[in-house]
Each structure stands twice: as C-alpha cells, then as structure tokens.
Structure 1
C-alpha cells in the first residue's frame, strides 16, 4: 500500500506546472494616474483572454523628469510613458536601456495620444483670463510646476515662449515675457499633480495652466461649481511619448507582454479610453462613438518646429545654466 506521501508526490508529478504571473512596470508621469488605471485593467483582461496567461501592470507616477532619473538610477521599468521626449532621450543616452531611435519603433513616433495646455480658473473667471498675455498682468498669480522636474512645467514654459514668437516678438521679447510669467508664480511644485493640489485644494493662485486632461479632471474631482476651463486661442501640441525599455525587458523576460502593452495603446479599445480621459487620440477614427468628448479646436504649434530638436530644446531652456536657470536667478536677485 502506497504511503500518503507517495500518493501526494505522484499527484504532483502528474499535475500541470503552475504558470508564473508576468508583472510589468509602467513608469509614467503625474497626470496619467486615472488613464492607466483604466487601460491596465482592460489590457490585463484582454491578455488573459488571448493567451490564458496572467499579467499584472503596475504603474509609477511622478514628475516626468524625476521619473526618468529613477529609471536611470535603476528602477526596472518595462515601459516608460513620460511627459516629454527629452526625458526618454535622457534615459537612452545615460543608460543604453532604450535605443536612440526609440521613436521609430512605434506608430506615430511613439505617440498614442497628444494633449495641449489650457487654463483652469476660479469659477466665473474673475480675473478675465483669456490668453497667454493675461497671465503676465501684475494682478494675476500663476500655479505651474517646475520645468526642471515636470514635463507639464516645460510645456507651459514653451507655450509662453512660443506665444510671443507667434505674435511677432523675438527671443529677447520672449525672455522678457517668460520672466514676467515666473515672477507671478508663488510656488513651483515638482510635478503637475502637485500644482493641481496647490491650486484646487490649497486655493493658491488665479490660474493653473494645465494639461487638457488634468483640467477636466479638476472639474470632475473638485467640482465644476468651483472652476472653469479657458481654452486659449493659441497653445502647444503637448506630445507625451511611450517607449519600450529594451534592456530591462530582455533581462526580465517580459518583452512579449511589454510590446503587446504598448501596441494595445493604439487599439480601438485603448484609443476610446484615451479620448474619454481627455487625451487627444492619435487614431481618432478608431474611437468608439458615444460618450467621447468633442475637443475644442485651437491653433497649435509643435515645439520641435519652433525651437529645434529635443536635445537643443532641453539644453537651451532647461539644462544646466539654461535660460530657465538664468530667469530664476534674475527673479531671485530682485
């Protein structure tokens, strides 16, 4: 008669091996928390249905520049979905974990969605803020994140500079304008979500230049009776890209799932989620009808068309001894 232990061992020998769960880490920027919570849930269910395997997608959020530095310092991201191309370029340059031609590896140069900068103001718009030149008036206080650490902060900076160039000014006029802009900023939070909290919860400032999706989130989360959104007639095409962290996925054995995750962002299901979260989908023709917002049209410019490639933009405006550093020093000395 076989012992109980032998019976158990025989049963284990004949059982199908348990499948290991795949875990992906998406290192993202501040305002995508709600977006990726929804996308991750749908992707996980789809992966299980298509493959029979379990996958869990975890997401890390923070100021885009800070998030890039965490990956450089060793945070094992499988994918990065950051707020600005220069942050992914930095990871590629400093670590080699991402190929330098990462933008050519996915559709639309690694952009499953875009956004723009709009203004959130107090209900009724008491300061009558309509366009970028209203933000540099002496009676207006601006809440914006630090462009050294936040992609949203960099888009706001570039929007203000581009506004002056679009309206006939030169770089000297743009510098003067942006200096006035930052003189009106009482606090520079490290990330866009921190600026949202300063404006919406701490009641600081008169206007919050914000990602379009973040602006609508403020109305839904903090009350449409408290805030209004002003869409300026001119703004920037904010382009938050995504990329595979090749060095990490190959080391971890997660390439298949990570590539499928990024591909999923371009699918009709994900594009519909993207639109419902007030990001501008890169494939609007695939978005399901019904319940999707209509995006307001405005004149948009691309940073690279006006300022050069991202290496040039980053070094000139936001690197060490950059224009922003010079502006900050000049303001501090007065």
Structure 2
C-alpha cells in the first residue's frame, strides 16, 4: 500500500495550527448552532505534537463525511503542541470543542478545570482511545552506537533525545516505558531511580514536545538516539530514507491517546453534536485506515491485522513496501501497571515526585 506523503518535519514544527475546511450538521442541532456568519460550523481540535499529519488527513475525510451525511459544511481549526502544555492551555481558557491528547491524564487536567464531564473515558469505545501507539528508539543508519535496549541508554557514551515530561505527554510514556524495563530487570525502586537518573543525565536536549525532540535529533543532528512515538519514528524513516533506523526495544508501553468533547466549550459554541460526531467518526473504517497509514495502531482488529508485519526483526531500516509496519514482537505494559494516570502522575510527575528528584539534582 502506498503511504501518504508527509510534510518535512522541520517545516511542520513551525506550524502553530492548521485549518481544514469541510461540512456538517447533526439532525438535532439548530440551524445556526456553532455556525459562523457564512453558515459554516466551526470546530477547534486541540491536540498534541505528533498528530499534525494525521489530523490534516482526517479533517478532510470528516468534512466530506459530515457534509454528505448532514448537509452542512464544517471548518476545523487544529492546534498542536506538547500534550501537557496543551491541556493547561485549554484549562486556562483556550476554547477547544474537542481535545485529542496524548494520554488520559492530560484530558483529566481539563476535566479538573470543570470543562469536561465525568466519565469521559467511557464516552467512546476502547476507553475513548481510537488509536494507540508505543515507544521505540530512532538511531542513525547502521546504529553506530549499537543501541538495542533501554540499558544501552544509560551508557556514558550515549547521548539521548527525549522531551520533558512536565510539558509532553509522549515524554511521560517514554519515562514509564524505561521504568518498566528496569523493573523487569529485577531492580529495586532505589535502583530503578538510579538507572532513570543515569538515563536523564545522558539527555542532550529536553524539548517541550515530541515534534521538537524529533527535530533536534533528525534535523539538528543532536544525540545518538531519540526515544520516540512509533509514528514519529516511521515518519522519519519515510522522510529521510537510508538515514535512520528504528530499534524496537524488548519491552515498552501501550500508549493510549485519549479523546474527549470539551463539554462546557461545546455547549457554549453550540457544537456538542458535531464534536461528538467528529470523535465518533475516528472509529470508522475509513478513519482507521488513515490512522494506520499515519503509523498509529488502529483499534479495529481487522484493520490492525492488515498492517502487522511478518518480519520478526526488531530493527527496521525502511518503511515496508507492502505497508505492513506494525511490529508485534514486543512486550507491552500499560498504564494500569502504574495504578492508573492519577497515581502515575502523583508518583512520578507531580512537583517533588520521582522525576523532579532524579532530574533536578
């Protein structure tokens, strides 16, 4: 299957937001609800860094679907940045009709501000996570530093690029995946903290978001390894053939980006119905195909299975010509292992918690 052409990573980093137009209106909505002066429904989706390409494609698909189904145009404004920072922006007044953030914990920040009703993880299928991802390594061609697993990242000769967990949801997943690896090695909590401290001592650049980290590694040539969202790593292979390789570590974490209607804002804008449809349609077969083609793991099993690779190698040197890119040869934990996001945030990412103790020393 031919993969969608992506925008150069350095260029997309400079985009503060992308706007896509289309149509839509739910049958129960009033004729003028959520509409601008020209009769077009306006919808704002605040998302995280690596979803730029995904939503550029999805917004076009949704606009077409909504006009055909409901007979009205919809215009989507897209905002991207570090997931934690984006959540705080919405909580502090950035008017998003929907959020599509990197993790449940960031959506909870918006809910705690009184903007999202309780039970948002049950509003849509699969814990309101229409697609998933995981964490992999991106290294330079030939893997000159011979980086194969998490313990290689604590060697003194390895420079690491990863974003900041204080502002980036992806960075939280990176940290927890590393923690799980060292735990699986039989280390005590004190030993794990020491290993994580060594890893972050090797961090060359601590960017605010995942796309910034990708740019630091890929375009600015900093560091020896990028701890990356799986989709970010594949975009780099696609954009720079022959220059990079993906290394799939022995263990990682199932990353579940979470979507939610920002209830109070949608009510104010009169966009509740279109916002709900926007997120529901992410589960359609057409959208699931777009998600897979943008290197996100679709939640629909039949579509997921179409993209599973038969290659058991944990080193990926190019985007597979047949489009089968999903590597299932990896042991994944999930956030439940850490007691859920509330506990994980309190234990690891809150002020004075584990991350502060290892990084600020």
TM-score of the pair, normalised by structure 1: 0.90
- Residue of 336, 344, 351 corresponding to 1:304: 336
Q: Distance between the aligned counterparts of 1:293 and 1:20, measured in 2?
A: 42
1:301 and 1:21 mapped to 2: Cα distance? 43
Mapped partners of 2:118, 2:152: distance in 1: 40
Q: Does 1:317 align with 2:348?
A: yes
Please give the alpha-carbon distance, in whole angstroms, between the structure 2 residues aligned to 1:289 and 1:132: 29
2:283–2:300 contact (8 Å) kept in structure 1: yes
The alpha-carbon deviation at position 292 of structure 1 amounts to 4.3
User: 1:144–1:208: 8 Å Cα contact kept in structure 2?
Assistant: yes
Distance 1:135 1:199 in 2: 15
Post-superposition CA distance 1:33-63 (Å, at most 9, x none): 0000000000001111111100011110000
| Aligned twin of 1:178 | 196
CA distance in 1, matches of 2:241, 2:304: 26
Compare the two structures and name the one with the higher helix fraction. 1
Larger Rg: 1
Q: How many residues were matched structurally?
A: 311
For 1:100, what is the secondary structure of its paired residue?
coil
Can you give the 5+ residue segments of structure 1 that lack an aligned partner in the other structure? 1-16
SS of residue matched to 1:99: coil
CA distance in 2, matches of 1:288, 1:133: 31
The answer to which of 22-31 and 284-293 deviates more is 284-293
Correspondence list, 1:45-60, <5 A: 45-60=64-79
Unaligned runs of 5+ in 2: 1-31, 308-321
Deviations 1:304-332 (A, max 9, x none): 22x112111111111111111111222xx
3-state secondary structure, aligned to 1:147: coil
How many Å separate the matches in 2 of 1:288 and 1:21? 38
Question: 1:287 offset after TM fit, Å?
Answer: 6.2
Contact 2:297 2:304 in 1 (8 A): no
- Tell me: CA distance 1:286–1:216, structure 2 relative to 1, closer, same or farther (3 Å): closer
Match of 1:261 in 2: 278
**TM-score when normalising by structure 2:** 0.84
Cα shift readout 1:247-273 (whole Å, capped 9, x = no counterpart): 111110011111110000000000000
Secondary structure of the corresponding residue to residue 300 of structure 1: strand
TM-aligned CA deviation for residue 286 of structure 1: 4.3
Partner of 2:246: 229
In structure 1, the partner of 2:12 is: none
8 Å CA contact 1:78–1:244 kept in 2: the answer is yes
1:1-334 alignment to 2 at 5 Å?
20-93=39-112, 95-221=113-239, 223-286=240-303, 292-297=323-328, 298-305=330-337, 307-330=338-361
Deviation sequence 1:54-80 (CA, Å, 0-9, x none): 001111000000000110111110110
Contact 2:306 2:324 in 1 (8 A): no
Contact 2:98 2:259 in 1 (8 A): yes
Say whether the 8 Å CA contact 2:197–2:358 is kept in structure 1: yes
d(CA) in 1 for partners of 2:169 and 2:193?
19
Residues 30, 169 of structure 1: alpha-carbon distance in 2 compared, 3 angstrom cutoff: same
Aligned with 1:120: secondary structure?
Answer: strand
Relative to structure 1, the CA distance from residue 183 to residue 289 in structure 2 (aligned partners, 3 Å threshold; closer, same or farther) is: closer
Q: Distance in 1 between matches of 2:323 and 2:276?
A: 27
